[in-house]
Structure 1
Amino acid sequence: MTFPMTDQLLNYDVFPLVFPVGKEVTVRIRPTGGRPEFIPGKEYKVLICALEGGKPYDYPSSGDYREKLLVCNEIGGFDVTHTYDSEQQYFIRVLGDDGRRINQFPVYAVEKDLVGRYPLRGDLHMHTNCSDGRQTPEVVCGMYRSHGYDFFAITDHHRYYPSVRAMEFYKDIPTEFTIVPGEEVHLPDVHGKEADAHIVNFGGEYSINALVRDEYFGEAGEKWVRAMPGVTPPEADTVEVWQDKMEALAEKTEVPEKVDKIPAAVMKWAFSEIRKAGGLAIFPHPCWISDTMHVPTAFLEYIMENQDFDAFEVLGGERYYEHNGFQVIRYYEDKAKGRRYPIVGSTDSHSSYESNDGALICSTIVFSPENERKALIGSIKDFYSVAVDTISKEFRLVGDNRLVRLSCFLINNYFPRHDELCREEGRLMRICAVGTEEEKADAVKQLTAMNGRMKKFMDKYISK
């Protein structure tokens, strides 16, 4: 889902919104067409209020209010220069002659590890009509961009090539939407013993599905590409050779009671192969109810204890509570036990249209220096990601405390403007996919003219 513009965002432009702790910064507050609240040339008392400090008259030891006298500029706004002491949200609060608040403007100071990292919103697990989804890869790209996403991966069942097909289609069309290669990995049974692995390969340079010459290999391995352009994938094993390898790996795999060796070995192998391919190995939807829980609790405990995966899909897939609710509880209980692993949120959608009530339910905010495959993977592995739940009207966030607080601020104050830019670019991308030749040519011209504006937007609001 896109996040709506509020009256405050429509009436004022405040920038930068995010800036470093301990560095003097000038925040510009510009009115943008609402009813005038401030008189040019008049002096106002301005308070810089730390959100987490409490009121100084109630909590003098922690309360953090700084007073300034500022003159309203000629356009009816303010230039507020200040050095912010700690990582948190602040209000720039303008008072009237009676000491009452006229208006206030939220901003956010961050520690140096977050400086230079942009908030990028993405989906790491979804499907097209190349497997069991409903739209083509090209259309899905445009739809996701119009929904406010900065990046995503097409992760069709058994198939890597749809993501490469989308990348190839848009490679000469100027957009600022990053298409990452991917697939949902499903592997054969091992001599009659089911593996039932659902593993997401996000950003791997080649297909893991196509390392085995199973029934899908003719489509996904030979007829279509099974690697990123310029990458030579490893030779694929026959099913029989691969099965023997898994049997041997299972023999060496130690598991507790009630945990089956074959699926444990197959998942361990898949996670490892994704990393060899330079991808992010994501463990998805263990609490999805497919007849019974997709992953038994004993097996889930084994996976979470050993942490062979790179990231856990803590949100995604279904709207009922058991799916995401149980996974969130698992994540926080694991944190309490001292287990630490990166998390992501994804839709696992099978239709990108808003008419699909599962299309826009979850996403991931990644704080990354670049909107680029390797940078995104590295940032998630380094724990700079937050999972976003938009199943209900009120969003929910899952992750580390400091990143959740920052993400909450950004959803309220940054992403609504961001999403307006995405909406137009996504509409034009979809025209490139399905329009007439004349419409496509016109869309490419418009995309060329607007290319680079998202980077300018990010640099305006996220200060280094």
Structure 2
Amino acid sequence: MMKVQDLYFKVFPKVVRADKEAIINIKPLYDHVRFNENSTYEVVYFPVDNRSVYSQGEKTIVKPEDGIISVKRLFEGEQEHILYLYEVVGDKPRLVADFRIYSLREDLFELKPYKGDMHIHSNFSDGKEDPALVAAACRKIGLDFMAVTDHGKYAPSIKAQEAFENVDIDLKIYRGEEVHPPQNPVHMINFGGCFSVNDLFKEDVYMKEVKEIEKALVGFQNDETRYQYASCKWCFDKIREGGGLGIFCHPYWLVSGGYNESTAITHRLMEDQPYDALELLGGYFKHEMESNVLQLALYSEYRSKGKDIPIVGVSDAHGCFTGYLFGWYYTIVLAKDSSLNSLIEGIKGLNSVAVEEVKDETPRIYGPLRLVKYAYFLFREVLPLHDAMCEQEGSLMMRYLEGDEKAAEMLKNLKGQTEKLYTELWSF
């Protein structure tokens, strides 16, 4: 939800380099909050991580120039900062508003946040809408990238791409599929791979190569688990061969009679990590939240053992307008751009968080502490502005699918607006 300050004021930049000086500009957008050119204003500064209980804040006297108040200061360390703006009226300063700034070390400062869903279904498997409408709906809820990943089917993801191939849009629509190997209950996502892994199961080479992998495996309780592991390894290798990201899906999905895959295969996959990313948050309904909690506990346990585990959050939605799952879970990737290679690099480089945003509940963000703190700032201060732009684009994408001839030109005119926003909000 957009803060009142962002409705009334334009603040830029909001993200600055740590331990560097930056000039923060505060520009009123409406008459009722215009600065009085004859008044004096006071900015009181607090660093969120290093606030002293005895501090009254660092005070700076400022005057508006051409309707804008600018504050120059050093932002120490990687943390959030609060600027309280007061109008000095007699002995009682009047609080105008408070503004938040985040300073980042260089490695994160060079990256931008991209929201995406890498596990979602269309009516070509057990979803409700056609692939093109799924893509448009994804943009409407603020996603920067997505892939249709139908059960055992790669072609629907191509259909989503083809539907918009003649339209200039910012949403990145990637290829994908949910991979279901023969006699193996483990579900995997092929995100972005340039060929279908499911199609390879029709060939004799699959069983032949899996048997070769099995021969080298030791430490398994039984032949069934050994085969399942070898099958998973083969699939993840093929996904990477196609340039995709291999995601280990919903290990604690509770089906009739127990979890979809055995605890033995789950822990062996976690130990050896043949996958590229763990589906930390999956598409569970409210009555199934125990499964997400168990996946979080699994992640925490292996992190405590020193494992670096790339993570994603996904909706696994089977309908975009049902009021549940779709938009509840997604990933924020910090990457150089929203190209496939950059996104995969960001996830594998541990620069992603999993987001749980269930309707009418407080959003929850999971991942490394450093990223979670930053992501909450983005969630409050940056992404509402981004999402409003995406909603506009997503609505136009839907109009384009409906046959509105003007929608394509309108989308062309909007192209690049989210990147322009990021350019304004990051200090360069």
Band of TM-score, shorter chain: over 0.9
Question: What's the offset of the Cα at 1:21?
Answer: 1.2
Task: Please state if 1:71 is matched with 2:96.
Answer: no
Question: What's the offset of the Cα at 1:212?
Answer: 2.3
Change (3 A) 1:73 1:41: farther
Give the distance between the partners of 1:452 and 1:102, measured in 2 at CA.
Answer: 33
Match of 2:163?
A: 169
Give every structure 1 segment of 4 or more consecutive aligned residues whose post-TM-superposition deviation is greater than 6 Å: none
Match of 2:18 among 12, 17, 21: 21
Question: What's the offset of the Cα at 1:405?
Answer: 0.5
Alpha-carbon displacement from aligned partner over 1:91-119 (angstroms, at most 9, x marks no partner):
11123443574421001000000122111
Give the distance between the partners of 2:96 and 2:164, measured in 1 at CA.
Answer: 48
Which SS does the other structure have where 1:179 is aligned? strand
- State the AA in 1 paired with 2:159: R
Unaligned runs of 5+ in 2: none
Percent identical pairs in the alignment equals 32
- State the AA in 1 paired with 2:70: D
Match of 2:133?
A: 139
Give the distance between the partners of 1:114 and 1:463, measured in 2 at CA.
Answer: 13
Q: Is the 8 A contact 2:8 2:33 kept in 1?
A: no
Which SS does the other structure have where 2:33 is aligned? coil
Match of 1:345?
A: 313
Give the distance between the partners of 2:251 and 2:260, measured in 1 at CA.
Answer: 6
Match of 2:248?
A: 283
- State the AA in 2 paired with 1:185: V
Match of 1:375?
A: 342
- State the AA in 1 paired with 2:118: L
- State the AA in 2 paired with 1:279: G
Question: What's the offset of the Cα at 1:176?
Answer: 0.5
Q: Is the 8 A contact 1:37 1:102 kept in 2?
A: no
Which SS does the other structure have where 1:212 is aligned? helix
Task: Within 5 Å, give how 1:6-405 maps onto structure 2.
Answer: 6-33=3-30, 35-36=32-33, 38-55=35-52, 57=54, 65-75=57-67, 77-95=68-86, 96=88, 97-98=91-92, 101-188=95-182, 194-213=183-202, 237-238=203-204, 241-257=205-221, 260-291=225-256, 292-319=258-285, 320-353=288-321, 355-392=322-359, 393-405=361-373
Give the distance between the partners of 1:310 and 1:250, measured in 2 at CA.
Answer: 20
Give the distance between the partners of 1:347 and 1:114, measured in 2 at CA.
Answer: 26
Match of 1:416 among 384, 387, 392: 384
Alpha-carbon displacement from aligned partner over 1:297-322 (angstroms, at most 9, x marks no partner):
22211111111111001002112221
Task: Please state if 1:447 is matched with 2:411.
Answer: yes
Give the distance between the partners of 1:293 and 1:38, measured in 2 at CA.
Answer: 61
Q: Is the 8 A contact 2:149 2:178 kept in 1?
A: yes
Which SS does the other structure have where 1:409 is aligned? helix
Match of 2:394?
A: 426
Give the distance between the partners of 2:425 and 2:398, measured in 1 at CA.
Answer: 28
Q: Is the 8 A contact 1:116 1:463 kept in 2?
A: no
Give the distance between the partners of 1:362 and 1:303, measured in 2 at CA.
Answer: 23
Give the distance between the partners of 1:308 and 1:36, measured in 2 at CA.
Answer: 56
Alpha-carbon displacement from aligned partner over 1:55-109 (angstroms, at most 9, x marks no partner):
3516xxxx9x43321113342x411122211110001112344357442100100
Give the distance between the partners of 2:36 and 2:255, measured in 1 at CA.
Answer: 63
Which SS does the other structure have where 2:309 is aligned? coil
Give the distance between the partners of 1:134 and 1:386, measured in 2 at CA.
Answer: 28
Give the distance between the partners of 1:39 and 1:390, measured in 2 at CA.
Answer: 40
Question: What's the offset of the Cα at 1:161?
Answer: 1.4
Give the distance between the partners of 2:34 and 2:293, measured in 1 at CA.
Answer: 44
- State the AA in 1 paired with 2:194: E
Q: Is the 8 A contact 2:315 2:328 kept in 1?
A: yes
Give the distance between the partners of 1:41 and 1:18, measured in 2 at CA.
Answer: 30
Higher mean alpha-carbon deviation, 370-379 vs 259-268, is at 259-268
Higher mean alpha-carbon deviation, 88-97 vs 275-284, is at 88-97
Indicate the RMSD between aligned Cα atoms, in angstroms.
Answer: 1.8
Question: What's the offset of the Cα at 1:255?
Answer: 3.2
Which SS does the other structure have where 2:406 is aligned? helix
Change (3 A) 1:425 1:391: same
Unaligned runs of 5+ in 1: 189-193, 214-236
Which SS does the other structure have where 1:55 is aligned? coil
Alpha-carbon displacement from aligned partner over 1:322-346 (angstroms, at most 9, x marks no partner):
1211111111122112111110000
